[in-house]
């Protein structure tokens, strides 16, 4: 087994998943605004340190995705964040794309940028301790979209990024996100998600990306947020698994689902149901941002005296999602923590 495959398998180890702490500066500002905290460098550092030093979180967290600023930061006692995580057996990773921009000639559709200079940035990030990377493509469902042009452009960029990661010694997390926004049905989400995944894997194959060294971070197959008929937990699990069995090669070590705006508990319940159904060739895990961070962020509220309560809230969400990895999460776990 190659070093990259071993890292990929460690990232989807049973009972564990990934914390996405890679919010861009505008996104983390919105989160901090919601709790009345100023988004300055020290507050961002202190908040991330609070998450990363939560005792026992390594039981359920296998990796953390950093933003560029965070990868370069340290704890109050001077320990670099990547080194802190490595001591706990958690793999440090880095978001490397520069965001989704308007796709020329395709009204309302986007393509993710960041390939320029990526080889050099990967070398620098590897030197700073990162061992995996992430690139997010954004796919919108709407009237007549997504177009093949949009899907092809994003699949090509994802595959070029992944190939550069492999070359530079980082495991690529490939993230094609079909957004929940809209009034579309779960059937429409299924169709767009399958189309997207087929395009992405065709591009990965064309660009010689070894799938056993690659992790997939997709959306679940869900009803649109404004769809009047919301699919229940069982239906979401069944449709998601059916879609992925049709479109995702078995060589991928694991699928780490994004929460994509779902509530904390619903994201956990959906993952749990998929693992209860079972029978998949890949590890089915999580790579949640808001669904892991919303409760600790609220408990912290930007105040040092709330650190213990915030860490307790983070540990609880990590534990619930760790249980969902084996289909053993229950509503009682939420009540016990209340």
pLDDT tens, residue by residue, 180-208:
999 999 999 999 999 999 999 999 999 99
- pLDDT at residue 119 tops 80: yes
Rounded-to-integer distance, Cα 229 and Cα 184, Å: 10
For the segment 281-325, what is each residue's pLDDT rounded down to a tens digit? 999 999 999 999 999 999 999 999 999 999 999 999 999 999 999
- Per-residue confidence band for 338, with pLDDT thresholds at 50, 70 and 90: low
Q: What is the DSSP annotation of 222-248?
A: ---TT-SS---HHHHHHHHHHHHHHHS
- pLDDT at residue 337 tops 80: no
Strands 110-112 and 61-66: unpaired
Choose the catalytic residue: 109, 213, 217, 273.
217
Choose the catalytic residue: 175, 177, 273, 283.
175
Level-2 CATH architecture, domain 3-337: Alpha-Beta Barrel (3.20)
Is 175 one of the catalytic residues? yes
Structure tokens, 324: 């969902």
Domain positions in the chain are 3-337
The answer to whether the beta carbons of residues 323 and 336 sit under 8 Å apart is no
**Whole-angstrom distance between the N-terminal and C-terminal Cα of the chain?**
44
| Of 206, 82, 189, nearest in space to 142 by CA | 189
Mean pLDDT, residues 122-135 taken together: 98
Count the neighbouring beta carbons within 10 Å of the beta carbon of residue 142. Answer: 14
Structure tokens, 247: 């479109």
Q: How far is CA 140 from CA 10, 20, 108, 155, 200, in A?
A: 32, 21, 8, 14, 16
Mean pLDDT, residues 25-53 taken together: 95
Place of tokens 């861009």: 24
Place of tokens 């919301």: 230
For the segment 259-282, what is each residue's pLDDT rounded down to a tens digit? 998 999 999 999 999 999 999 999
Strands 110-112 and 91-95: unpaired
The answer to whether the beta carbons of residues 98 and 113 sit under 8 Å apart is yes
Mean pLDDT, residues 242-256 taken together: 98
User: Cis peptide before 121, with omega less than 30 degrees from 0?
Assistant: no
Place of tokens 């490397």: 96
Tell me how long the chain is.
338
Rounded-to-integer distance, Cα 120 and Cα 164, Å: 10
302: left (phi over 0), alpha (psi -120 to 50) or beta: left
Rounded-to-integer distance, Cα 180 and Cα 146, Å: 13
């Amino acid at each position: 087994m190659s070093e990259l495959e071993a890292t990929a398998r460690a990232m989807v180890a049973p009972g564990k998943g990934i914390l996405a702490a890679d919010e861009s500066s505008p996104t983390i500002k919105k989160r901090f605004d919601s709790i009345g905290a100023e988004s300055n460098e020290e507050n961002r550092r202190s908040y991330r340190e609070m998450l990363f030093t939560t005792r026992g979180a390594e039981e359920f967290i296998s990796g953390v995705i950093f933003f560029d600023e965070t990868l370069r930061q340290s704890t109050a006692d001077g320990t670099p964040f990547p080194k802190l995580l490595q001591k706990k057996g958690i793999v440090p990773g880095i978001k490397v794309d520069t965001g989704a921009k308007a796709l020329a000639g395709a009204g309302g559709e986007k393509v993710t940028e960041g390939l320029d200079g990526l080889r050099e940035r990967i070398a620098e990030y590897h030197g700073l301790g990162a061992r995996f990377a992430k690139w997010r493509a954004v796919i919108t469902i709407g009237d007549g979209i997504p177009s093949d042009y949009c899907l092809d452009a994003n699949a090509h960029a994802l595959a070029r990024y992944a190939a550069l990661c492999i070359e530079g010694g980082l495991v690529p997390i490939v993230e094609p996100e079909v957004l929940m926004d809209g009034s579309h049905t779960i059937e429409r989400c299924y169709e767009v998600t399958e189309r997207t995944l087929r395009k992405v894997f065709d591009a990965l194959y064309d660009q010689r990306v070894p799938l056993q060294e690659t992790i997939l971070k997709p959306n679940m197959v869900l009803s649109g947020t404004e769809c009047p008929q919301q699919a229940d937990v069982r239906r979401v699990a069944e449709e998601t698994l059916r879609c992925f069995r049709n479109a995702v090669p078995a060589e991928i070590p694991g699928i780490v689902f994004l929460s994509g705006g779902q509530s904390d508990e619903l994201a956990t319940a959906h993952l749990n149901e998929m693992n209860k159904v079972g029978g998949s060739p890949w590890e089915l895990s999580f790579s949640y941002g808001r669904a892991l961070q919303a409760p600790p962020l609220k408990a912290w509220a930007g105040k040092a005296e709330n650190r213990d309560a915030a860490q307790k809230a983070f540990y609880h969400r990590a534990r619930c999602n760790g249980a969902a990895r084996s289909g053993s999460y229950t509503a009682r776990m939420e009540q016990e923590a209340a």
